[in-house]
Amino acid sequence: MARISIFGIGYVGVVAAACLAKDGHDVIAVDVDPGKIDAINNAKSPIVEKGLGDLVKEVVEAGRLIATDDVQHAIDNTDASFVCVGTPSAPDGSVGLTYVSSVCESIGKALAAKDAFHSVIIRSTIVPGSTEGTCIPVLEAASGKTAGTDFGMGYYPEFLRESTAIEDYYDPGLIVFGALEDRTAAILTEINAHLGTKIHVVDLRTAEMVKYTSNTWRAVKVTFANEIGNIAKSCGLDGQTVMEILCSDTKVNISPYFMRPGFAFGGSCLPKDVRALRHLAQTREVRSPMLDAVVAANEAQIAKAEQMVAKANAKKVGFVGISFKPGTDDLRESPLAELAGRLIKSGVAVEIYDPFVHEAYANANSTAGRGNDVVPDLADRLVPELGKLIEGSDAIVVGNLYKETVAELDKVSGSKPMVDLARLRRDLVSQGGYEGICW
């Protein structure tokens, strides 16, 4: 069992302290507010949360949770510290790090007087880079020690919802943390091992980003549901019924397939249906800012890819894929076709390898090139062999991912300018002449 100090007896701090103590860990809660300290030491919860009062009473009476304002005592008598103080928005909307910095400075001063190794783990919600850019420098300056060597460092976000915090703690949908070294990772693994949820061990900044992504995604879902509800009501429909039915489809509508960062959407359904729903909202005088943003964001992703290709200064660009997705010859509103058309208009020569579109033309299908209205002379631009396309191009755009192309494209990913909109391999990141659109 671990000995843990919790800095900040707010909502996250007191729930974490009580649950850790229930699991058998010895916990010291630290705060500057004497009222919160007294409440815990008197076996009372300083906040109202379902089931928390009884839990605090249980663990305090068992001797596994105490509270203090003595930072040195807390550091000297624990192996790891969780920083759970607030990060309110600054006037410009940025995250406020005043409380986090202050606590890190206090912990750092206490670490200076401690010989044993100690891990500092941030739980406060902070934007990517904050642990490395703010917390570590403050701790190192105050302690005279080096993070990752003389003391441990981690970032461990929480995903607790008010009113169901204890249930969420013991039945988490997500566990993720970042650690600079093995000892901090071992502590965080130990306290989560019994929960039965996969533990994601990542770098500090990825863990920070996951927290913000999770919270923002929840906000997006609420906003989307409200917007659909407003439009549904204007049509005399029950928006809650519509969304309940939508959420019953776990194959497509709740699928992770559409949650993979990459290129813009296209095809015969999504673009026109978003436009149609926006138009319906307008005719009903219902505002649809999220639907408006969907259209704008999709266009921005195409424009971003165009800028990436332009940076290569290539006179001849080879496209791998031109249909709106792999496995079809359908070009209706294909963002790849739109991108190719823009490059052609700017004077760039474009050739295309797409086995499905090529097959349609080779078989003289009456529907060959269906949906294309932006790529002139499409049939003449098709190249049947990938090797020939690569050899004859100054730069490559990987638009659709075909399994048989991965190895050959991978060979030239470091030697020929490449804009990857599909991701050849998960370990490839933008460097040198290789540019991934979202990685």
CA 104 to chain centre: 26
How far is residue 288's CA from residue 291's CA, in Å, rounded to a whole number?
5
User: Which one-letter DSSP state was computed for residue 316?
Assistant: E
pLDDT of 326 over the 90 cut: yes
Tell me what pLDDT residue 256 has.
86
pLDDT tier, 148 (very low <50, low <70, confident <90, very high otherwise): very high
Question: Taking residues 39-59, what's their average pLDDT?
Answer: 97
pLDDT of 57 over the 90 cut: yes
Q: Coil, strand, or helix at residue 199?
A: strand
367-408 pLDDT, tens digit each = 999 999 999 999 999 999 999 999 999 999 999 999 999 999
How far is residue 371's CA from residue 241's CA, in Å, rounded to a whole number?
35
CB atoms within 10 A of CB 434: 20
CA 243 to chain centre: 24
Phi and psi at residue 28, in whole multiples of 5°? -115, 120
Q: Coil, strand, or helix at residue 219?
A: helix
How far is residue 231's CA from residue 235's CA, in Å, rounded to a whole number?
7
For 376, what's the count of Cα atoms within 13 Å in the CB-facing half-sphere? 7
How far is residue 122's CA from residue 138's CA, in Å, rounded to a whole number?
13
pTM: 0.89
Question: Taking residues 157-168, what's their average pLDDT?
Answer: 95
Q: Confirm if 305 and 293 have CB atoms less than 8 A apart.
A: no
User: Quick one: what percent of the chain has pLDDT higher than 90?
Assistant: 97
- Would you give the end-to-end CA distance of the chain in angstroms? 39
pLDDT of 257 over the 90 cut: no
Q: Which residues are catalytic?
A: 269
Q: Which amino acid is at 438?
A: C
- Give DSSP secondary structure letters for 395-431: EEEE-S--GGGHHHHHHHTTTS-EEESS-S-TT--SB
- Whose CA is closest to 62, among 24, 118, 7? 24
Helix, strand, coil percent values for the chain (each to nearest 5):
45, 15, 40
Question: Taking residues 128-135, what's their average pLDDT?
Answer: 98
Helix axes 136-143, 98-112, angle to 10 degrees: 30
272-294 pLDDT, tens digit each = 999 999 999 999 999 999 999 99
182-198 pLDDT, tens digit each = 999 999 999 999 999 99
pLDDT tier, 252 (very low <50, low <70, confident <90, very high otherwise): confident
How far is residue 323's CA from residue 309's CA, in Å, rounded to a whole number?
18
Say which residues have a Cβ less than 8 Å from residue 342's Cβ, sequence separation at least 6: 302, 306
Question: Taking residues 351-365, what's their average pLDDT?
Answer: 97
pLDDT of 225 over the 90 cut: yes
Provide the token pair at 25.
């860990």
CB atoms within 10 A of CB 313: 10
Q: Coil, strand, or helix at residue 79?
A: coil
Provide the token pair at 236.
């005399």
How far is residue 439's CA from residue 421's CA, in Å, rounded to a whole number?
10
Q: Which amino acid is at 193?
A: A
How many Å is the maximal CA-CA distance in the chain? 83
pLDDT tier, 90 (very low <50, low <70, confident <90, very high otherwise): confident
Say which residues have a Cβ less than 8 Å from residue 27's Cβ, sequence separation at least 6: 3, 4, 5, 6, 17, 20, 21, 59, 64, 65, 66
How far is residue 314's CA from residue 114's CA, in Å, rounded to a whole number?
59
Strand 175-179 and strand 152-155: pairing?
antiparallel
Beta bridge mates, 266: none
How far is residue 117's CA from residue 79's CA, in Å, rounded to a whole number?
7
How far is residue 210's CA from residue 265's CA, in Å, rounded to a whole number?
23
Q: Confirm if 344 and 397 have CB atoms less than 8 A apart.
A: no
Mean pLDDT over the full length of the chain: 97
pLDDT of 253 over the 90 cut: no
pLDDT tier, 254 (very low <50, low <70, confident <90, very high otherwise): confident
